[in-house]
Structure 1
Amino acid sequence: MLKFYFNGSPNPTKVALFLEEAGLPFEPAPIDTRKGDQFAPEFLKINPNGKVPVIVDGETIVFDSNAILLYLAEKTGKFLPATPSSRGELLSWLMLAATGLGPFCGQAVHFKHFAPEKVLYAHKRYQYEAHRHFSVLNDRLADRPYIVGDVYTIVDMDVWGWARMIPFVLGDDAWSKYPHLKRLFDEIDARPAAARAKTLKDRHPFKPEMDDEARSHMFKHLAA
């Protein structure tokens, strides 16, 4: 059975969505990053980068949420475009999420909520880029139901993982700027698989507090 290393953050949650949508059985393996589980030697053996998510599928190890989504989609033949000619679109938008949306949203969250000192330039830079990426996606959805045309794919799952965080990233009123993205988000979020993916973390004992211990594990650069 596939083993899924995860926590409740956006990247593992979008992989959980695929697993639930595809009906793939998996063994959950919680990694509590606020307790430093990501630095355990046995975990670093499967992902030297010390990040979640990771899947172990027999002898195959895949880390990075975008790589996992693509691997699982190609293995199962599910949630891919209907025509081979759409593969370029799928890869392009998947990489936009992988290299743009996720990293900029992550940094926007850090400088908005967790940086020990306020750095105005960094805050404005990442807020702007997070907004820009969500705007590109919103415009893309103005004339199509899903990001790669008429079919629900792994790209939509990928974007859903971060779109869930829009109020936390950009503020409580931010959704009003992205009506087309909100329509897609609401559709996916209402799916039973999404409900199961979001509550997976609740079935495992994760540390809730962002205290000094958690910060020492999550922001090791502060002690470097």
Structure 2
Amino acid sequence: MYEVIFYKGNYRWRQKQANRDKCAAYVEHHFNSAVNPMSSYAVVITGYLASETTKNWGRWYANRVGKEFGIPVAGNGGVLVGGYNGRGNGNLKHTRMPAILLEPLFASNPEHAEWIRSDEGQDTVAKILTESIMEFFPEGSRIGFSVGHKYKTSRPKDRGAPVYGGGAEADYAEIVMEKAKVMLESDAPIIAELIPEEEDVPDNDIRVIKDGKELWLHSEVDEDDDVVWDEENRILYITSL
């Protein structure tokens, strides 16, 4: 028996709330996107310090997606530890339970987008997620769900990448997760009492501090922004994605 809780707010906040609620597992759902419309693979991101259980769970999921849709897997057997140059690690690193970030299909690939937008494709992805949770957490438990990009305090209008043919990544990811929730909760839920929700306070500031004194503060940073330090030229690049 499972209970699924959707967490909202900035990514760090979601993870802290899942820790507070003693979730047994945490899933953040995205769809991938690339300039090349023919990009085609499934991958699961884990944090740099992910456990072997987490990595095995991610590999199971990615390879099942690959088998169902006839696409290859990326990373190490379907798992990319730490994400893309660290992007993705922050979405998971504050959790105290197995946590994975899913990128099963490409929103920018016309064929993948057709699967993403169809009921049949959504049902397939939701079923794979459901079965992966049942495989690795068979005793039943509280599961934390996070819709990538959507519901962030720092950038509430963010919906991620556009999906070829119409719609946005985050909205379809949410549809898939809602379907998975129904599948997981088809039996009577467990449930321990939840602690009342607190308020999410954005905490994405970037500061420059010299000799203990703050010289510069930039507060308009989102957790999905790409932040890169150019060591050679001593320049910090912040790119909105």
* TM-score interval, smaller chain: 0.3 to 0.5
* Bigger share in strand: 2
- The TM-score, its normalising length taken from structure 2, stands at 0.33
Larger helix proportion of the pair: 1
TM-score w.r.t. the length of structure 1 is: 0.34
